[in-house]
Structure 1
Amino acid sequence: MINVQDLTKKYGKEKGITDFNFHFEKGNVYGLIGPNGAGKTTLIKLLVNFINKDKGSISKNFEDNTRLNNISYMPDFDMLVSGSVKKNIEFFNLTYKDLDLEVLDNILEKFEIEKDGKVKNLSTGKSKAFRFALCVSRKVKVYILDEPFSGIDVITRTDIVENIISVIDIEESVVIVSSHELHDMDQLLDYVLLIDKSHLLITKSVEEIKEEKNESLYTWFIETVKSNKKK
């Protein structure tokens, strides 16, 4: 569904992502994992056309002639406008015609987010849950979530994981989740792409990791990154 070849982006002398090659296929949830500053967010911004590449190509077998057309993106920053939750929903609905309001209402109810409430009064967890709800309530081909679990409690994280599984039609979609918070991620991800020092270091299925190492994704990640630092 998305084919990436030799993708490279540099920031002056700093490397964002270097010679990245991968094919994202529908029916899978991919985890972009790696230390902070490894290149995960740079890759995501390239996939959603927020920044220009220096080299390489990104090809998609679906219509993507406008920014975020057929791609639903939850960035790692707060994109909500001031005012009420309802105002944000109305703005989002005008911007994206594929928003499923019934699905959105169900998620908001689960997270106990009131539409009449002010966005500025939402807790960190509820603010992130609201942004998450807006993202996954769209009916698109690709869902990309950048650090959706950062700064939230375990219960909210678990609820978000459960909603990704239950709300998104994964069989017909590509789901890409960037995170360094890997607890409880084993049940969500099909494949992990470990990015370190701007390079794609390892690609493995979560099942393969469990069978080979008999350990959690989190433990495997820590051991692999530590091993790479010694090289």
Structure 2
Amino acid sequence: MSKKTTYFFQEGWMITIQDLSKSYGNIHAIQEINLQIGQGEIVGLLGPNGAGKTTLIKILTGFLQPDQGQVFIDTVDVIKSPHLAQEKIGYLPENAPLYPELNVYEYLQMMADLRHIPQIEQESVIREAICAVKLENDYSRPIKQLSKGMRQRVGLSQAILHKPKLLILDEPTVGLDPTQLVEIRSLLKNLAKNCTILFSTHILPEVEMLCDRVVILLNGKLKADANLADLAKTNHAILILDEQRPDIQKELLSLKGVKAVEVQKTNGPFGIYQIQGNSEVDLTPQIYHLAIQKDWPVRELRRDVPTLESVFNDLAVAA
């Protein structure tokens, strides 16, 4: 007998995902995902190809039915009322379907018609979207004449045309040059003042520069969900000794607040120890006192703040 799950929606969350699973034959695309994203957050959705990001986005946007679970977008049940949920979502796919022969304004007129925006409101709505993405000087140009960065702005403008509460962006910075990256980041931060943004990518530095929070999918499972500010507070330390000793790892594990100690392999005589803490407290003072007490030949002792890349790589190896 399958386990029955009681689903609920909590006020204040833009996205609520409960026990969400989807399989394609014997392949488990996503497995029992539980996630809540608050209003006004910029959340990075990370994972390698095949991790389940695309499947999750298709379910969130109402284009794919899950095998089990529930999804709410701002109180709307996506599975029961996909069209109503889609009214609250602006979506920019990785390869936005633009029409190169149209100019920017004509393209947005077409998208406004598809969104059923009343004719009497279209001019003001379109101009507001154009200004939001800083295309005021280019709205009469054919899309085929625009750079990739400017075409991404056009894609963003159609995504915000109907003033959505949630923006879902799939790889929005792929292929952009450094100047275009800075411009798109700035635009997204401004847009986040009025909506929640879920940002799917495999480019870790973009998440660090843009997002408040990161969600990591691996093999269809939710492996991490953390605020980037909290990640920076994670307490690790690196201890390097002039020689390797068999008792060091055990001694370090005896310290208060130490969760794990990894001995790194070296070709030389040095002993290198990566110490993981279970709180925000800096471990280096008590490691230093222990080293003095035990007369360890310390070459280097420093606090080690993990990067998003190191966290991602550790999870990938463990998976």
Residue in 2 aligned with 1:174? 196
Matched ranges for 1:18-167 at <5 A = 18-63=31-76, 65=81, 66=83, 68-84=86-102, 85-96=104-115, 97=117, 100-108=125-133, 110=134, 114-167=138-191
**In structure 2, what is the Cα distance between the partners aligned to 1:46 and 1:191?**
21
RMSD: 2.5
Does the 8 A contact of 2:130 with 2:139 survive in 1?
no
Deviations 1:33-86 (A, max 9, x none): 111221112111100011121111112344574162111111122222342122
**In structure 2, what is the Cα distance between the partners aligned to 1:58 and 1:164?**
24
User: What SS does the corresponding residue of 2:34 show, helix, strand or coil?
Assistant: strand
**In structure 2, what is the Cα distance between the partners aligned to 1:223 and 1:44?**
23
List 4+ stretches of structure 1 deviating above 4 A.
213-216
Residue in 1 aligned with 2:218? 196
Does the 8 A contact of 1:2 with 1:61 survive in 2?
yes
Does the 8 A contact of 2:109 with 2:126 survive in 1?
no
Does the 8 A contact of 2:15 with 2:36 survive in 1?
yes
Which is higher, the Rg of structure 1 or of structure 2? 2
User: Bigger CA drift: 60-69 or 39-48?
Assistant: 60-69
1:225 aligns with 2:313: yes
**In structure 2, what is the Cα distance between the partners aligned to 1:81 and 1:28?**
31
User: What SS does the corresponding residue of 1:185 show, helix, strand or coil?
Assistant: helix
TM-score (norm 2): 0.63
| Greater length-normalized contact order (CA 8 Å, ≥ 6 residues apart) | 1
* Percent identity of equivalent pairs: 26
TM-score (norm 1): 0.85
Structure 2 unaligned residues grouped into runs of 5+? 1-13, 236-303
Question: Which amino acid in structure 2 is aligned with residue 140 of structure 1?
Answer: P
Q: Cα–Cα, structure 1 residues 102 and 69, in superposed 2: closer, same or farther, change >3 Å?
A: same
